[in-house]
Amino acid sequence: MNHSKHRVNESTTRYCPECNADWRGAQIPEKTRHHYAANDGYFSRLIGVEIPGGYDGVDHWLCPDCKATFKRF
């Protein structure tokens, strides 16, 4: 898989480095916000991709707009 040259930190990167799309989603409702780790109170549109049989967790990120992929580590 060809990944973008950029690495993405899901906690601090708000815009896609390739297409500049805003990855901030809808606001998390105040009454349920304590269930989420999001520090800014918003859902993320960034898609985490797992590879079956590989690392047990998100291996890389996918932009929902331009479909560019970004290494997590």
Q: For 11-69, how does the pLDDT look when each residue is reduced to its tens digit (9 = 90+)? A: 778 899 999 999 999 999 999 988 987 678 899 999 999 989 888 889 899 999 999 99
Model-level pTM?
0.80
Distance CA 38, CA 55 (A): 23
pLDDT-derived band at 2, boundaries 50, 70, 90: low
Q: Is 59 left (phi over 0), alpha (psi -120 to 50) or beta?
A: alpha
